[in-house]
Amino acid sequence: MTQKTQSRSGGRSARRAARAAPLAAHLRPVRPGLSGGQYRPLTAADMDNIHAAALDALEQIGLADAPPSGIALLTGAGAVLGGDGRIRFPRALVEDTIARANRSVTLMGRDPAHDLHLSGHRVHYGTAGAAVHLVEAEGRNYRECGVQDLHDAARIADVLDNIHFVQRPMVCRDITDNLEMDLNSIYACCSGTTKHVGVSFTDPQFVPHAVEMLHMIAGGEDKWRERPFISNTNCFVVPPMKFATESCQVMEACIAAGIPVLLLSAGMAGATAPSTIAGAIVQACAECLAGLVYVNAVKPGHPAVFGTWPFGLDLRTGAMTGGSGEQALLTSGCAQMHKYYDLPGGAAAGIADSKLPDMQAGWEQMCSNVMAGLSGLNMVYEAAGMHASLLGFCHESLILGDDLIGQALRCVRGIEVTDETLALEQIREVCIGGPGHYLGTEQTLGRMQADHVYPTYGDRTSPKEWDELGKPDLIAKATARKEEILAQRSAARFDPQLDAQLRARFNIHLPA
């Protein structure tokens, strides 16, 4: 390696030139699917003990309230229906299911460039939730959210590099009919983004209608089945240890229609799950393992995400809290169990309890997001925009979340140790007869883009520059960016002919 002995100003102009050049996608410092796993909150013995307790819970306690179809499927697979109506799972059945289950799942986007390959410790961040409020950042105000807010969130997420999927983060509170709400949620998300979309169905009867819409969007059933671009968030359990009867029927219908499912167990530690972190993880694992047996009893190998989502509770008030260190541990511990099972998994992180995108929101969102990523969680749900312990969604916060998650992803990417990065020769050349600094070295210039994540909204100016710029406000910058995105024509919008067909067939609430 040769040492450039440029003057400092030579280095600076070379840096300017280098940063003007566009960066090829494969050289970008962060991208979807970077591998975590460097953070392991549980020891090997801890994981063995959690798994053993989950197996005991399944074999001895089991789950109540399966629908008749589920009872038939599960007992057919080897589970045992007790006189108390609970279905118990012999450990051999559970372990065989784990052994035969998918080691990887691909969640597809309408645009294949956005496909998510879930396996190993590959990490993806995205939205999720069922917020009932839209947070107006500038006015510091909460109001009921509607279908336009959901569509706007999808449109914003579509252009943010570090938001890798769009699970519906808000409920359309302005649509009172549940079937219309479910269908319009699909429309609002899919017409706003070509990234993978997650939705949820209230009633098994709604699934055929949704499937009809999906076939139309895909251009036919065959095209849909080849590349399903939505998944169903399926709250198949009511913790502790009860099947959600109707959601199980939704799940069966989704599997039949080729919709990947997120097996979502959302216990509240201290209310519907044990208050201890380990206990909440045990119960979540037990419930999701039951779900995995269920899915594979319906259709072996159907794509399913192992969705252990235990949430925290403020035990002083009994209210949910998602911004705590305990939440970050719940999620990271679950991620490690997913890898213990070698199953594609997801959990919740990035939740702020704070009502607004303020300093509290920043520390809450980063804590669980970076720990989730470092623990190798495949799908980090609720990663951006969520406030008030999941009750509010904020477009400005979603935009700032792109910066925040970019930084978390840089941490997930980790430290590259090679002869080149160890830089011994560079140190020698700089120190002995060299310029005594690294500003202009080939290695510094060559890596200034590929190694470093630069914030888009985050401010790095000096106090003097900041003052001269009029002390720019972070929220105001995000609001301006939101308005800019929403003023543009969305690249994800449906072809006009398809749009007309969808509007003729369904009652679409968004204006054309």
* Footprint on residues 426-485 left by a second copy (CB under 8 A): 426-428, 430-432, 436-439, 441, 443-444, 447-448, 451-455, 457-463, 466-467, 471, 473-475
Using the rule CB under 8 A, which residue among 4, 6, 35, 46 binds a second copy? 46
Number of residues that bind a second copy (CB under 8 A): 127
Using the rule CB under 8 A, which residue among 424, 487, 504, 512 binds a second copy? 424
Q: Containing H/E element for 153?
A: helix 147-158
Provide, rounded to whole angstroms, the least separation between the CB of residue 378 and a second copy. 19
For helices 325-341 and 277-298, give the axis angle rounded to 10 degrees: 40
> How large is the C-alpha radius of gyration of the chain?
24
Among positions 75-104, residues that touch a second copy (CB under 8 A) are 84, 86
Stretch that binds a second copy, among 41-49, 117-125, 154-162, 164-172 (CB under 8 A): 41-49
102 vs 321, beta carbon nearer a second copy: 321
135 vs 230, beta carbon nearer a second copy: 135
248 vs 282, beta carbon nearer a second copy: 282
In the structure encoding, which two tokens stand for residue 89, read together? 């799972």
Three-state DSSP class for residue 278? helix
Neighbours of 137 (CB within 10 A): 23
Mask for 118-147, x = binds a second copy (CB under 8 A): ---------------x------x-x-----
Provide, rounded to whole angstroms, the least separation between the CB of residue 407 and a second copy. 4
Mask for 5-34, x = binds a second copy (CB under 8 A): -------x--x---x---------------
**Contact between residue 173 and residue 132 where contact means Cβ atoms under 8 Å apart:** yes
Cis peptide before 41 (omega within 30 of 0): no
Among positions 151-170, residues that touch a second copy (CB under 8 A) are none
In the structure encoding, which two tokens stand for residue 489, read together? 């024509």
Mask for 388-417, x = binds a second copy (CB under 8 A): xx-xx----x--x--xx-xxxxxx--xxxx
226 vs 416, beta carbon nearer a second copy: 416
353 phi/psi in degrees, rounded to 5: -80, -25
**What is the widest separation between alpha-carbon atoms in the chain?**
85
Provide, rounded to whole angstroms, the least separation between the CB of residue 57 and a second copy. 6
| Sequence-ordered list of residues with C-beta below 8 angstroms from that of 196, at least 6 positions apart, any chain | 107, 108, 109, 114, 115, 116, 126, 164, 165, 166, 229, 230, 231
**Contact between residue 351 and residue 341 where contact means Cβ atoms under 8 Å apart:** no
Provide, rounded to whole angstroms, the least separation between the CB of residue 204 and a second copy. 25
Among positions 318-377, residues that touch a second copy (CB under 8 A) are 318-319, 321, 323-326, 328-329, 333, 353-355, 357-367, 370-371, 374
Provide, rounded to whole angstroms, the least separation between the CB of residue 96 and a second copy. 22
Provide, rounded to whole angstroms, the least separation between the CB of residue 43 and a second copy. 8
Give me the residues paired with residue 269 across strands. 273
| Sequence-ordered list of residues with C-beta below 8 angstroms from that of 134, at least 6 positions apart, any chain | 142, 143, 144, 145, 146, 149, 170, 392, 393, 394, 395
Give the Cα separation of 305 and 167 in Å (integer). 13
Provide, rounded to whole angstroms, the least separation between the CB of residue 377 and a second copy. 14
Q: According to the binding rule CB under 8 A, does residue 198 interact with a second copy?
A: no
Stretch that binds a second copy, among 55-63, 107-115, 340-348, 484-492 (CB under 8 A): 55-63
Among positions 255-284, residues that touch a second copy (CB under 8 A) are 270-279, 281-283
Provide, rounded to whole angstroms, the least separation between the CB of residue 139 and a second copy. 10
In the structure encoding, which two tokens stand for residue 424, read together? 């011994």
Provide, rounded to whole angstroms, the least separation between the CB of residue 379 and a second copy. 20
Among positions 221-260, residues that touch a second copy (CB under 8 A) are 240-241
Using the rule CB under 8 A, which residue among 34, 50, 101, 384 binds a second copy? 50
In the structure encoding, which two tokens stand for residue 403, read together? 């910066």
**Contact between residue 486 and residue 156 where contact means Cβ atoms under 8 Å apart:** yes
Q: Containing H/E element for 142?
A: strand 141-144
**Contact between residue 352 and residue 364 where contact means Cβ atoms under 8 Å apart:** yes
Closest C-alpha to 120, from 41, 37, 46, 196: 37
Stretch that binds a second copy, among 51-59, 93-101, 210-218, 290-298 (CB under 8 A): 51-59
